[in-house]
Homo-oligomer: A and B are copies of this chain.
């Protein structure tokens, strides 16, 4: 495994390998033998004939889901979720498959100091950065088979289609598996693309400790599973011409609107807060309502109020974690701490939400009747609240050229009725594309998932939707490559 930085235009054609089956061919590439398809010369019709193999794509996805199989939700062999935490033994197996497979398909593989794996397929012109397809192979502890996994597999399928059809791109193309996108094991999501973009210091990332109850760090686990690469994790060591990512929507909008492809124009802004309410533990049976400082009752009002603020401001507000102390049926909780995730496509709205929360929560804690929350309540003792901002991700706007490539690819893929099947949308979730977009043109392709459910074992994306998404991704890369240098 050598770094792309040390590479050169070292691929040469070996015509003999043309007769080998694509799945085993260890191929190299000429600079332009006449019998190759070149992206530069591709007409719409030729582009349209390059098709992903739906059966192969799905077989590959389910093949790698043998590593880290999760909870069962249906009777079919593939109807289980996934539980493949970053840098676990099962992640190591999935990574080994990715390295082995992409090398078999003629890629050079580079591993950086965050364990990001870059597989690069050479093009005609190899002194320019590759156009990348990227996503992640790690999952939530009770996640599904599509979040992240589909995006990486669509990249591998792209390599296979290019090889099957002897396509030579103008510039190299690559597939990247980003480490710990979920932030589920090491609690910072998209941390490795964040180091790559220069937004997160390497040392902070290396020192991230896994969540309770373990003690491993990212660095210790990277070392343990053999993925602490020599190449510095940086957009300078591994530059990208563009980054495209296929992902399930993880929400219901495409399904509700009966669309097949979402052309993603950006990612909404979000902040993660931790809210801590302090009252006083007291006995539930002996403390009359007005002598209480009930931290859970107060937190309940805040959670309800955050939802009302979100409704009024066309934003999102969600609490996914809540701890209370001391935790006994007959003791009024004296302390409650909860997460608050606020989002909007618009930075100003997130800022306004934060400002409203910062103003209103202390008033709710003090016992003021905000928006009628206290109507019908007993007025009781005052409490205190503290609000900590843990994470801030401003709104991301993707690159017009990438968005255009995805849009054209979507319409070309879906055919005559495409105007009814494609919609532009903003991503609600963060993705590695957020950090990638800080250093190169980026866009994403969304496909619908059943009832918008994700982060759940029963997360499901239909085979035809996976394939359509992979097809759009392939065409987006080829269209982008075709347009480079113009």
Report whether B303 and A297 are in contact in the complex, using a CB–CB cutoff of 8 Å.
yes
Task: Tell me which residues across on chain B come within 8 A of A453, comparing CB atoms.
Answer: 280-282
Closest to A140 in B: B328
Which residue of B141, B268, B285, B316 contacts A429 across the interface (Cβ within 8 Å)?
B285
Task: Tell me which residues across on chain B come within 8 A of A256, comparing CB atoms.
Answer: 291
Please encode chain A, from 363 to 375, with 1 for each CB lying within 8 Å of some chain B CB and 0 for all others: 0000000011101
Known contacts A329-B339, A341-B329; A283 and B372 CB within 8 A of each other: no
Task: Tell me which residues across on chain B come within 8 A of A333, comparing CB atoms.
Answer: 319-320
Q: What are 16 pairs between A and B in contact, CB < 8 Å?
A: A141-B326, A189-B330, A250-B287, A251-B285, A282-B455, A284-B316, A284-B428, A285-B343, A285-B428, A288-B316, A297-B304, A300-B300, A300-B304, A308-B376, A321-B329, A322-B324
Closest to A249 in B: B286
Task: Tell me which residues across on chain B come within 8 A of A112, comparing CB atoms.
Answer: none
Task: Tell me which residues across on chain B come within 8 A of A270, comparing CB atoms.
Answer: 285
Report whether B328 and A377 are in contact in the complex, using a CB–CB cutoff of 8 Å.
no
The number of chain A residues touching the other chain, given as a range, is 35 or more
Known contacts A284-B341, A288-B253; A311 and B376 CB within 8 A of each other: yes
Task: Tell me which residues across on chain B come within 8 A of A251, comparing CB atoms.
Answer: 282-283, 285-288, 291
Question: Any chain B CB within 8 A of the CB of A234?
Answer: no
Give CA–CA (A444, B339) in the complex, Å.
44
Give CA–CA (A421, B377) in the complex, Å.
31
Give CA–CA (A333, B270) in the complex, Å.
18
Give CA–CA (A453, B270) in the complex, Å.
40
Rounded to whole Å, the gap between the CB of A261 and the closest CB of chain B is 16
Q: Which residues of chain A (266-293) have a CB below 8 Å from chain B?
A: 268, 270, 272, 280-289, 291
Give CA–CA (A321, B140) in the complex, Å.
26
Q: Which residues of chain A (216-241) have a CB below 8 Å from chain B?
A: none
Q: Which residues of chain A (315-346) have a CB below 8 Å from chain B?
A: 316, 318-322, 324, 326-334, 339, 341, 343
Rounded to whole Å, the gap between the CB of A337 and the closest CB of chain B is 12
Rounded to whole Å, the gap between the CB of A152 and the closest CB of chain B is 19
Closest to A255 in B: B291
Question: Any chain B CB within 8 A of the CB of A19?
Answer: no
Report whether A378 and B291 are in contact in the complex, using a CB–CB cutoff of 8 Å.
no
- Given A301-B304, A371-B375, 15 other A-B contacts at CB below 8 A? A189-B330, A250-B285, A268-B285, A283-B429, A284-B318, A285-B316, A289-B307, A289-B310, A296-B322, A297-B307, A320-B330, A321-B329, A322-B324, A330-B341, A334-B456
